[in-house]
Amino acid sequence: MKKDKLYIALVGLPARGKSTIANRLRDNLRKDNIRVRIFNNGDLRRRLTDRSSSDPEFYAPSNTEGSTLREHIAMINIGRARDYLARKGQVAVLDATHVSKKRRNKLSRLLDDHPVLFIECINEDKAILEASVLRKIMLPEFSHLCREAAIESFNKRINYYQTIYSPLDDERNFVILDSLHNKIIREEISGTIPFYDRIRDFLVTDTVKNLFLVRHGETYFNLENRIGGDSELTENGRGQAHAIADYFSQVKIPFIFTSTKERTRQTAVPIHAAQKACETIELKEFDEIDSGICECMSYEEIRKKFPAIYGDRKKDKYNYTYPGGEGYVTMKGRIYTGIKKALYLSGTSDRIMIIGHRAVNRMILAHFLYRRQEDVPYIYVPQDKYYHIVATQDKKLLQLKPFMSID
Ligand code: F6P
């Protein structure tokens, strides 16, 4: 039926998460038996051209040869998308930058048989952009360059796109999305857009197909009940890390996220080593709660030296903030940012692992589980088990599982 068909055109500079959104959107809509296909200009360019199209000068607006070729590629995909919807297809996703008004007008003119929904992806977080660029330069088209040259080349390409970038404004149907925070910044819809309710919900939903949430192995501080600090793993802790590594050795985990603390990094080492292809990324956002003037003390020492702190914290643990440090309540923002960064950087990966700390993992669990605030500081986070979390539009699952054999 005519009304059941839709073009979606992504908009945004390179490395803003467009392809991740396109792929996830396709997987998501397919679950509802909607026929979706992605038409990606970058993939087509890599197939049709030689290495010269990876050169930043290929993207210079003044390079007529480059722009003619890119225009040609765009036209092929526009034609294919139109054909697809003319046959059995229901949603055609055009995955390209579409940053100039001229290109978007052309697209709207040529795709006039069904509504076009533009989705602009914005993300200006510097650290995330740097990490995204590092992932982009792993593409074979940069393999002839050293790391620095590849980064420079890709950034130059982004700059050329920047010169012709004109954000969405007067298009008939569009959504501007903060693709790091899954937040709709602006929405203008002037007609009936098929599947729109589902698409919009998808855009603002955190999706994680499989998150393995692990706590670091036992540390010397744990043995003495000392909090914070940067203690190393004990022999037992190293054994726990190896047990996790063995347990997951047959499960592909392309991304492991740790804090910047020694204990999570040491836990990650054997797990990373047991994987064939895996990237380990440290995020400061996942550092353990900063206990301020109580750092490195045991609970017993705090009780004796700072009885008021000890007592006040007991009264309202979630809202209590350590003098000179943090509380669960003040950690919320950074943990949220950490989760967003991990999900963004892992793109369309089916599995990710986060190796965190007791308070950090409680906050991560609370994010996916919607626990009552006052209960969060009491969530069980053992060192011989992990939480398996699934959070998609259709499924929410949380399971505590052992990774050590019980014999
Ligand atoms: O004891 C380990 C630890 O991770 C400390 O570093 C941290 O202060 C504490 O757990 C958090 O747990 P709680 O909020 O229950 O004190």
- Give 291 Cα–ligand 1 centroid separation in angstroms: 9
Residue bearing the CA closest to ligand 1, atom 15: 377
Mean pLDDT of the chain: 94
pLDDT at 347: 86
Distance CA 187, CA 185 (A): 7
- Give 359 Cα–ligand 1 centroid separation in angstroms: 6
From 288, 314, 315, 374, mutation site for ligand 1 pocket: most ligand atoms within 8 A of C-beta: 288
User: How far is C-alpha 55 from the chain's CA centre?
Assistant: 28
Residue bearing the CA closest to ligand 1, atom 8: 227
pLDDT at 207: 86
- Give 381 Cα–ligand 1 centroid separation in angstroms: 10
Give the residue among 354, 348, 292 at the shortest CA–CA distance from 38.
Answer: 348
The finding on whether 173 has its CB within 6 A of some atom of ligand 1 is no
> Sorting pLDDT into bands at 50, 70 and 90, what band is 405?
low
pLDDT at 259: 98
pLDDT at 50: 75
Judge whether residue 234 has pLDDT over 80.
yes
For residues 284 and 296, is the Cβ–Cβ distance under 8 A?
no
Ligand 1 atom nearest the C-alpha of 229 is 6
- Which residues have C-beta within 8 Å of that of residue 187, sequence separation ≥ 6? 174, 175, 176, 200
pLDDT tens digit string along 271-301? 999 999 999 999 999 999 999 999 999 999 9
Residue bearing the CA closest to ligand 1, atom 11: 359
Residue bearing the CA closest to ligand 1, atom 7: 227
For residues 204 and 192, is the Cβ–Cβ distance under 8 A?
no
The finding on whether 357 has its CB within 6 A of some atom of ligand 1 is yes
Distance CA 293, CA 291 (A): 6
- Give 308 Cα–ligand 1 centroid separation in angstroms: 18
Q: Compute the average pLDDT of residues 44-51.
A: 85
> Which residue bears the tokens 């991560």?
364
Name the region of 49 (left: φ>0; alpha: ψ -120 to 50; beta: rest): beta
pLDDT tens digit string along 240-257? 999 999 999 999 999 999
pLDDT > 70 fraction of the chain, expressed in percent and rounded: 99
The finding on whether 289 has its CB within 6 A of some atom of ligand 1 is yes
Q: What is the dihedral of CA 326, 327, 329, 332, to 10 degrees?
A: 60
Judge whether residue 21 has pLDDT over 60.
yes
Name the residue with higher pLDDT: 379 or 207. 379
pLDDT tens digit string along 70-81? 999 999 999 999
> Sorting pLDDT into bands at 50, 70 and 90, what band is 233?
very high
pLDDT at 1: 46
Judge whether residue 236 has pLDDT over 70.
yes
Distance CA 121, CA 10 (A): 7
The type of residue at 356 is G
- Give 358 Cα–ligand 1 centroid separation in angstroms: 6
The finding on whether 89 has its CB within 6 A of some atom of ligand 1 is no
pLDDT at 221: 98
- Give 290 Cα–ligand 1 centroid separation in angstroms: 9
Distance CA 254, CA 249 (A): 12
DSSP readout, 321-338? --TTS--HHHHHHHHHHH
- Give 302 Cα–ligand 1 centroid separation in angstroms: 13
- Give 373 Cα–ligand 1 centroid separation in angstroms: 17
Q: Compute the average pLDDT of residues 47-72.
A: 88
The finding on whether 228 has its CB within 6 A of some atom of ligand 1 is yes
- Give 232 Cα–ligand 1 centroid separation in angstroms: 15
The finding on whether 120 has its CB within 6 A of some atom of ligand 1 is no
Judge whether residue 99 has pLDDT over 60.
yes
pLDDT tens digit string along 335-369? 999 998 999 899 889 999 999 999 999 999 999 88
> Sorting pLDDT into bands at 50, 70 and 90, what band is 395?
confident
- DSSP character at residue 310: H
pLDDT tens digit string along 2-17? 468 999 999 999 999 9
297-333 b/e (C-beta count within 10 Å ≥ 16 → b): beeebbeeebeebbeebeeebbebbbeebbbbbebbe
Q: What is the dihedral of CA 136, 140, 145, 150, to 10 degrees?
A: -10
DSSP readout, 134-179? HHHTTSGGGTTS-HHHHHHHHHHHHHHHHHT-----S-SEEEEEET
pLDDT at 3: 63
What is the CB-side half-sphere exposure of residue 232 using CA atoms within 13 A? 4
pLDDT tens digit string along 170-189? 999 999 999 988 899 999 99
Q: What is the pTM of this model?
A: 0.85
With residue 27 as reference, give the H or E element that holds it: helix 18-30
> Sorting pLDDT into bands at 50, 70 and 90, what band is 158?
very high
The finding on whether 376 has its CB within 6 A of some atom of ligand 1 is no
Name the residue with higher pLDDT: 395 or 386. 386
Burial class (CB in 10 A: 0-12, 13-18, 19+), 77: buried
Residue bearing the CA closest to ligand 1, atom 5: 227
